[in-house]
């Protein structure tokens, strides 16, 4: 890793008054959660139009619900890694909201719970732009429930009879407007946007770092490889998020002068 990039990255974090972090599937890769577009990623092996669109859900709800039930059971084995934990500690220390994720795996929330050791303050909890796979919602009304194992019958909302479906954003669906608005405001007010483990190709999330930049702030990237954002990043740290984030964000022990 180039020393100059590290020095610059540490300085940018130290000097930033407001930080937003945008994370993607790469931060959970070291927890054993598959990414989408890397070798072995979900969208390399499955067709999203058959599993992750409202049309697929209407046409063949069982197949879609079974796929999400499979993802949920795989996630039950996964734990937050040092990358999630370092971000949780960072936002707990700062007491200021700024963690925005595209991930639906709930690992940022679990890391915040574990690091806070009690009910974590709002500021340490992520804005989950694409929803949460551990939650269901009604296709029609506002009802939400913790996800339950899939039985023989297609699950229905007890209030209105709508399909009970995962509370995640499918391709072609719009994001929760309130959440997106909060994320945009965080991005516009931040002087540093830390972009971790995302290919930054799915909008509107991918526009958040650009919003920081357009408002005069800087982008810093943490990724195992180059992305669409690398060329506009003020610093780019190459490597695994679980190694880089603690080294970047945790307070470093003071070096004694000899």
Chain positions contacting ligand OAD, by CB under 6 A: 24-26, 29-30, 35-38, 41, 102, 130, 169, 197-199, 202, 222-225, 227, 240-241
Q: Which two tokens stand for residue 234?
A: 């003020």
b/e per residue 112-143 (b: at least 16 CB within 10 A): bbebeeeebeeebbbbbbbbbbbbbbbbeeee
Instruction: Give the residue at shortest CB distance from ligand OAD.
Output: 26
Rank residues 38 and 114 by Cβ distance to ligand OAD and give the closer one.
38
Helix axes 241-249, 3-15, angle to 10 degrees: 50
What does DSSP say about strands 131-138 and 164-168: parallel, antiparallel, or unpaired? antiparallel
Q: Kind of pairing, strands 127-128 and 99-101? A: parallel
- Minimum distance from residue 50 beta carbon to ligand OAD (Å): 14
Instruction: Given the residues 71, 108, 130, 164, select the one marked as catalytic.
Output: 130
* DSSP character string of 91-115: HHHHTS--EEE---S-HHHHHHHHH
Name which of 13 and 224 has its Cβ closer to ligand OAD: 224
- Would you state the torsion angle of the CA atoms of residues 30, 26, 129, 131, taken in this order, to the nearest 10 degrees? -40
130 tagged catalytic? yes
The pair of three-digit structure tokens given for residue 41, joined into one six-digit string: 């990623």
The two three-digit tokens of residue 258, written as one number: 């000899």
**C-beta of 51: minimal distance to ligand OAD in Å?**
10
CB of 48 to ligand OAD, least distance (A): 6
Closest C-alpha to 66, from 132, 150, 165, 144: 150
| Residue whose CB is less far from ligand OAD, 18 or 209 | 209
Whichever of 29 and 218 has its CB closer to ligand OAD, that residue is 29
CB of 25 to ligand OAD, least distance (A): 4
Nearest C-alpha neighbor of 23 from the set 96, 92, 80:
80
Which of 17/44 has CB closer to ligand OAD?
44
Tokens of 15: 């000097």
| Smallest distance from ligand OAD to CB 38, Å | 5
Q: How far is the CB of 46 from ligand OAD (least distance, A)?
A: 11
- Closest to ligand OAD by CB, 27 vs 124, is 27
Contact at 8 Å (CB) between 123 and 109?
no
* Residues found in the chain: 258
- Residues serving a catalytic function are 130
């Amino acid at each position: 890793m180039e020393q100059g990039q590290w020095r610059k990255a540490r300085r940018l974090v130290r000097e930033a008054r407001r930080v937003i972090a945008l994370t993607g599937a790469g931060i959970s890769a070291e927890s054993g959660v598959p990414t989408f577009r890397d070798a072995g990623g979900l969208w390399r092996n499955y067709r999203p139009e058959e599993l992750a669109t409202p049309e697929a859900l209407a046409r063949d709800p069982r197949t879609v619900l079974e796929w999400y039930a499979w993802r949920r059971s795989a996630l039950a084995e996964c734990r937050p890694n040092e990358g999630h934990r370092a971000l949780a500690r960072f936002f707990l220390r700062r007491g200021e909201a700024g963690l925005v994720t595209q991930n639906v795996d709930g690992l940022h929330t679990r890391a915040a719970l574990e690091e806070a050791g009690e009910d974590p303050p709002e500021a340490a909890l992520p804005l989950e732009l694409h929803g949460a796979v551990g939650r269901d919602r009604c296709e029609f009304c506002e009802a939400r429930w913790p996800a339950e194992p899939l039985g023989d019958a297609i699950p229905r909302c007890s209030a209105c009879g709508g399909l009970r479906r995962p509370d995640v954003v499918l391709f072609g669906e719009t994001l929760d407007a309130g959440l997106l608005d909060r994320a945009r405001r965080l991005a516009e007010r931040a002087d540093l946007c830390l972009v971790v483990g995302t290919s930054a190709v799915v909008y509107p999330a991918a526009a958040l770092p650009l919003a920081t930049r357009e408002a005069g702030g800087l982008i810093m990237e943490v990724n195992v490889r180059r992305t669409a954002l690398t060329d506009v990043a003020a610093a780019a740290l190459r490597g695994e998020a679980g190694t880089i984030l603690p080294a970047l964000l945790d307070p470093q022990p003071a070096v004694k002068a000899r």
